Amino acid sequence: MDLSTIIPIVLCGGFSRRFGRDKLREPFGDGWLIDRPIAALRGVFGPRVMLVGQVDEFLAARADGVLADLHPGAGPAGGILSALESTPDAGGVCVLAGDLPAITPAALLLVLAEADAHPEAWAVWAVTDRPQPCIGLYRTGAITPLRQALLGDRSLHRAISSTKLRAVRINPSDAFNINTLDDAASHRASAANNPP
């Protein structure tokens, strides 16, 4: 797979309602939570990671560029669709949610290897005990079903036909995401007890 044709993106939508404040700016290690998925993507693609969403100059400065959210309020499906629509000549977009503190380049490489082995797939997701559609690769074939999803329930889980979807198992700890302050505390405690 020619990685130069893939656009690496971090989804920055949502309102952090369960968290109570902007979780993407939450301190993690020597940076913010948003820095973790950016670093994982840079570990694979280099310094060309794009944020997708309505971000201010301070958040935008953490990445290498910003793609406008053409479907604000439509959740992850809207953000992924925005990236695909904004980069129609690309070979696809490699997607991470912005709230993944433990995501690794190794997990992304598993997704990309599966995508390389299955060029017919419109999407390749990571999977743990459940599908992880915000850790994945989406090709332009996914544009039409994502548009249809936005007209319905906006669910990524139901957007892509199983015949056009592949999944690859990753380490569950890589997919841990932060939704609440308790999640953040739990991740910090786990990281302190299990240093790299």
What's 129's domain CATH number? 3.90.550.10
8 Å CB contact between 83 and 7? yes
In a domain, 195, yes or no: no
In a domain, 18, yes or no: yes
In a domain, 129, yes or no: yes
Q: Is 164 exposed, middle or buried (0-12, 13-18, 19+ CB in 10 A)?
A: middle
Look at residue 21 in the predicted model and tell me its pLDDT.
Answer: 60
Look at residue 13 in the predicted model and tell me its pLDDT.
Answer: 74
Kindly report the average pLDDT of the chain as a whole number: 90
In a domain, 50, yes or no: yes
In a domain, 66, yes or no: yes
Distance in angstroms (rounded) separating the CA atoms of residues 113 and 122: 14
In a domain, 196, yes or no: no
| pLDDT tens digits, one per residue of 127-168 | 999 999 999 999 999 999 999 999 988 888 899 999 999 999
**Which residue range forms the structural domain that includes residue 175?**
3-190
Please name the residues in contact with 124: beta carbons below 8 A apart, sequence gap of 6 or more: 111, 114, 115, 118, 136, 137, 165, 166, 167, 168
Closest to 96 measured CA to CA, from 3, 9, 194:
9
In a domain, 30, yes or no: yes
195 has pLDDT over 80: no
- Count of structural domains within the chain: 1
Is the pTM here over 0.95, yes or no?
no
In a domain, 118, yes or no: yes
Q: Give me the percent of the chain exceeding a pLDDT of 70.
A: 88
Locate 186 and state its tokens.
């739990």
192 has pLDDT over 70: no
| pLDDT tens digits, one per residue of 91-128 | 999 999 999 999 999 999 999 999 999 999 999 999 99
Order of all β-strands in the sheet with 165-169: 65-67, 50-52, 6-11, 92-97, 131-138, 123-127, 165-169
Look at residue 54 in the predicted model and tell me its pLDDT.
Answer: 85
Cα-based angle 160, 129, 187 (whole degrees, multiple of 5): 115
Look at residue 157 in the predicted model and tell me its pLDDT.
Answer: 86
